[in-house]
Structure 1
Amino acid sequence: MDPIIAATHADPYPYYAQLRAEGGLVFHQGLKLWVASSAATVAAVLAHPACQVRPAGEPVPKTIVDGLAGEVFGRLMRMNEGERQRCPRAAIEPGLALIDPVEIQTLVSARLITPDAEGLSKAMFYGPVCVVATLLGFSPAQTREVNELTADFVACLSPLSTRLQLDRAHEAAEQLRGHFFELLDDPDVHSPLLNGIKQRFASSDNEMLIANLIGLCSQTYEATAGLIGNALVALIRDPLLLRDVDSFLAEVQRLDPSVQNTRRFVVAPCVIDGINLNPGDTILVLLASANRDPQLNEQPDTFIVDRPNRRSFTFGAGRHQCPGQTLALSIASATLRQILAINPALDGLTWHYRPSLNGRIPLLTEAQA
């Protein structure tokens, strides 16, 4: 076991507890990086200005730097610091917080979900992006294409992707860019979300805006799929956990988050947890471990639906905290309600985790008789 393999391990949480016992920030000789595992250290790393989201000498991964997916990546607010992060965030975040959960429920309810493993997987991976695309003003036919293209585009974000997947990611980025250009230029689009974003976007750089609208879809695709999937896994294990859907999901995202870790890259000398860090150092930030730190939550390994003062790093913290947290939880809540309404035979399902270095996204299959 190591901190990266842990993300898709059947039960990584005892290992995370072992890491916390060894110290909040320790150097992993095998991976050649620092590992932050305690709540206090994770909070310190995420807040420190010297700990940034990309290496100073590699703002875009080398595998995609020469294609359009790399151009989009380089403009994403989540992959930038300073004004290149603040400007698109200030345009997009306020509108996400204003979306009516009833509207989300209506959009989710309009989609047919079947109770088998394939139908539930489609609800995880197809529904969320289609909701976001609809809210942005795309037509029903366009939302399906945007979802398929987003699925191809997210491959550029994974170091595990093959050359073929990366080529398809570049093609998807080009097609998504075209769809968003047309959307922004269409006077007949009546989307309160998109209109608000356009009004708040304090720049004439349409490429920056389009890249971050693509980023909104790509973040929705994986993180929300994982949240819905891990909620279903929790119910497969113990159907009695579910009483209130929203509280149940809030505990799922704390206890078994779809984003297990993230990385920060040291760009200036700094001291964290009493340890001197130098430019060029990499820190693997174990969000999932911090969520189970007893210094953050009492009885951290117990699923408590009505947990008081629940605290979580799943959606990050500080300047790079996920702006779509409320939206993701609303979509997951609406989707889970719709799934429960069709009464699927969850005890007939099994799962394994999608290969990933940081994500915990279950892939559901029918259990063998």
Structure 2
Amino acid sequence: MDPITAATHPDPYPYYASLRAQGGLTFDPHLKLWIASSAEAVCAVLRHADCHVRPAHEPVPKAIADGPAGRVFGRLMRMNEGERQRCPRAAIAPGLQDIDPQQVEALVRARFITEDDVDLHPRQFIGPASVVATLLGFSPTQSHLVSELTGDFVACLSPLSQTTQLDAAHRATEQLEMLFRERIDTPDSPLLKRICQDLATDPDSLVPNLIGLLSQTYEATAGLIGNAVLALIRDPALRRTVIAAPKQISPLLAEVQRFDPGVQNTRRFVAAPSEILGATLNSGDVILVLLASANRDPRLNPQPDDFLLDRSNRRSVSFGTGRHECPGQTLALSIAHATLEAMLEREPRWDRLTWSYRPSINGRIPMFSDQSGTQAP
């Protein structure tokens, strides 16, 4: 195991503990990366002004730089610094914070009622992005299409993607751009109207960051839902507790995103010579930031390896911290809560579920099936 393959290892957490024991910020000569593994180091890197989200020499990955997906990637607030990050964030974040959880629950439940299939895959992946698309004014049919296209676009964000996936991502990007331009011409949703008004000074960033909002929802919420399901499968007593008291779904999700987060790591690229926690870093150095390891640091959370619904002062960096902290955390938790509650009411066949982790260098997203090899209900 190494810090990259750990993301999809069955149990990477003892390994993360061994990395923390070596020091919070260390250099791996084989990977040629700095490794931030302690809570202190992770927070220091994420908050450092000279630790950027992309390398200066490659603001857009070479694999997609010449296509539509690269055009969108280059404008995403999560992949930029300065005004290209601050302006879209200031336009999008407030609207996300004001979304009514009851509205989210109604949209999730409407999908459970109207769709014939009860497979876990669409609940975990297609459903969350469809909810966001509906909040942005798309019809139910359009929302489903937008969510599927988002899944195709997301593939371009992974270095593991093959040529066929990258080609599909470019095609999906063009379709998403067209659909969003049509929506923007007649913005009849309060959320979309607010974002359009607040981002009027930077119109070129509008469509890319609406696509970015969907792409972040797609994977982050899928990981949150999936790892919550795993927690319930692995612990029958926990499952009985949550089924008997649905109000425990909120602390369950809060603890899941700390204990076994869907995003295990992220990267930062040093833009100027810097000193962090006594280590001297040079311009161009790369830092692998182990978010999941920081969450298990006993200096951040006492008894870090215990799964506790009633954990006091729970602290987590799963959604980031500092200027690039995810603005959609509350929305993701609301969607995951409504989805999990509706799933539990349908009494899934827990004993038939099997899973494997989706191939990734940073995500920990379980994919479920039943023992016959079909998608799991």
TM-score (norm 1): 0.97
Aligned-partner residue type, residue 230 of structure 1: N
Q: 1:206 offset after TM fit, Å? A: 2.8
1:263 pairs with one of 267, 270, 275: 267
Aligned-partner residue type, residue 67 of structure 1: G
Q: Which residue of 2 aligns with 1:226?
A: 223
Task: Tell me how large the CA RMSD over aligned residues is.
Answer: 1.5
1:7-57 deviation per Cα after TM superposition (whole angstroms, max 9, x unaligned) = 000000000000000110111122111100000000000000110000011
2:197 pairs with one of 181, 196, 199: 199
Write the distance in 2 (CA, Å) between the matches of 1:190 and 1:238.
45
User: Secondary structure at 1:246's aligned position in 2?
Assistant: helix
Q: Given that residues 294 and 317 in structure 2 are in contact (C-alpha distance below 8 angstroms), is that contact kept between their aligned partners in structure 1?
A: yes
Q: CA 1:44/1:134 → structure 2, altered by over 3 Å: closer, same or farther?
A: same
Aligned-partner residue type, residue 45 of structure 1: V
Write the distance in 1 (CA, Å) between the matches of 2:319 and 2:154.
18
Q: 1:198 offset after TM fit, Å? A: 1.4
Aligned-partner residue type, residue 290 of structure 2: L
Q: Given that residues 287 and 314 in structure 1 are in contact (C-alpha distance below 8 angstroms), is that contact kept between their aligned partners in structure 2?
A: yes
Write the distance in 2 (CA, Å) between the matches of 1:12 and 1:293.
14
Q: Given that residues 117 and 366 in structure 1 are in contact (C-alpha distance below 8 angstroms), is that contact kept between their aligned partners in structure 2?
A: no
Q: Which residue of 2 aligns with 1:251?
A: 255
1:358 pairs with one of 338, 362, 377: 362
Number of corresponding residues: 365
Q: 1:350 offset after TM fit, Å? A: 1.4
1:303 aligns with 2:320: no
2:235 pairs with one of 234, 238, 241: 238
TM-score (norm 2): 0.95
Write the distance in 2 (CA, Å) between the matches of 1:30 and 1:230.
30
More displaced 10-residue stretch of structure 1: 206-215 or 281-290: 206-215
User: Secondary structure at 1:284's aligned position in 2?
Assistant: strand
1:307-349 deviation per Cα after TM superposition (whole angstroms, max 9, x unaligned) = 1100000000000000000000000000000000101111221
User: Secondary structure at 2:119's aligned position in 1?
Assistant: helix
Q: Given that residues 113 and 119 in structure 1 are in contact (C-alpha distance below 8 angstroms), is that contact kept between their aligned partners in structure 2?
A: no
Q: Which residue of 2 aligns with 1:274?
A: 278
Q: Which residue of 2 aligns with 1:342?
A: 346
Aligned-partner residue type, residue 194 of structure 1: L
Q: Given that residues 199 and 206 in structure 2 are in contact (C-alpha distance below 8 angstroms), is that contact kept between their aligned partners in structure 1?
A: yes
Q: 1:141 offset after TM fit, Å? A: 1.3
Q: Given that residues 137 and 188 in structure 2 are in contact (C-alpha distance below 8 angstroms), is that contact kept between their aligned partners in structure 1?
A: yes
Write the distance in 1 (CA, Å) between the matches of 2:224 and 2:296.
17
Write the distance in 1 (CA, Å) between the matches of 2:164 and 2:277.
42
Write the distance in 2 (CA, Å) between the matches of 1:249 and 1:131.
19
Q: Given that residues 53 and 267 in structure 2 are in contact (C-alpha distance below 8 angstroms), is that contact kept between their aligned partners in structure 1?
A: yes
Write the distance in 2 (CA, Å) between the matches of 1:36 and 1:135.
37
Write the distance in 1 (CA, Å) between the matches of 2:166 and 2:322.
31
Q: 1:246 offset after TM fit, Å? A: 0.4
Q: Which residue of 1 aligns with 2:210?
A: 213
User: Secondary structure at 1:75's aligned position in 2?
Assistant: coil
1:83-119 deviation per Cα after TM superposition (whole angstroms, max 9, x unaligned) = 00000000000000000000000000011379x9971
Q: Given that residues 138 and 183 in structure 2 are in contact (C-alpha distance below 8 angstroms), is that contact kept between their aligned partners in structure 1?
A: yes
More displaced 10-residue stretch of structure 1: 61-70 or 242-251: 242-251
Q: Given that residues 260 and 288 in structure 1 are in contact (C-alpha distance below 8 angstroms), is that contact kept between their aligned partners in structure 2?
A: yes
- Find runs of 4+ consecutive structure 1 residues off by over 3 angstroms: none
Q: Which residue of 2 aligns with 1:101?
A: 101
Q: CA 1:338/1:170 → structure 2, altered by over 3 Å: closer, same or farther?
A: same
User: Secondary structure at 2:111's aligned position in 1?
Assistant: coil
Write the distance in 1 (CA, Å) between the matches of 2:279 and 2:167.
41
Q: Given that residues 117 and 349 in structure 1 are in contact (C-alpha distance below 8 angstroms), is that contact kept between their aligned partners in structure 2?
A: no
Identity of aligned residues (%): 66
Q: Given that residues 112 and 342 in structure 2 are in contact (C-alpha distance below 8 angstroms), is that contact kept between their aligned partners in structure 1?
A: no
More displaced 10-residue stretch of structure 1: 345-354 or 15-24: 345-354
**After superposition, where does 1:135-214 map in structure 2 within 5 Å?**
135-186=135-186, 189-203=187-201, 205-214=202-211
User: Secondary structure at 2:112's aligned position in 1?
Assistant: coil
More displaced 10-residue stretch of structure 1: 189-198 or 297-306: 189-198
User: Secondary structure at 2:160's aligned position in 1?
Assistant: coil
Write the distance in 2 (CA, Å) between the matches of 1:298 and 1:135.
38
1:141-190 deviation per Cα after TM superposition (whole angstroms, max 9, x unaligned) = 1101101110100011000000110011011111100000000002xx42
Q: 1:134 offset after TM fit, Å? A: 0.2
Aligned-partner residue type, residue 232 of structure 1: V
Q: Given that residues 269 and 286 in structure 2 are in contact (C-alpha distance below 8 angstroms), is that contact kept between their aligned partners in structure 1?
A: yes
Question: Any gaps of 5 or more consecutive residues in structure 2?
Answer: none
User: Secondary structure at 1:210's aligned position in 2?
Assistant: helix
Write the distance in 1 (CA, Å) between the matches of 2:118 and 2:155.
21
Write the distance in 1 (CA, Å) between the matches of 2:188 and 2:179.
16
Q: Which residue of 2 aligns with 1:10?
A: 10
Q: Which residue of 2 aligns with 1:327?
A: 331
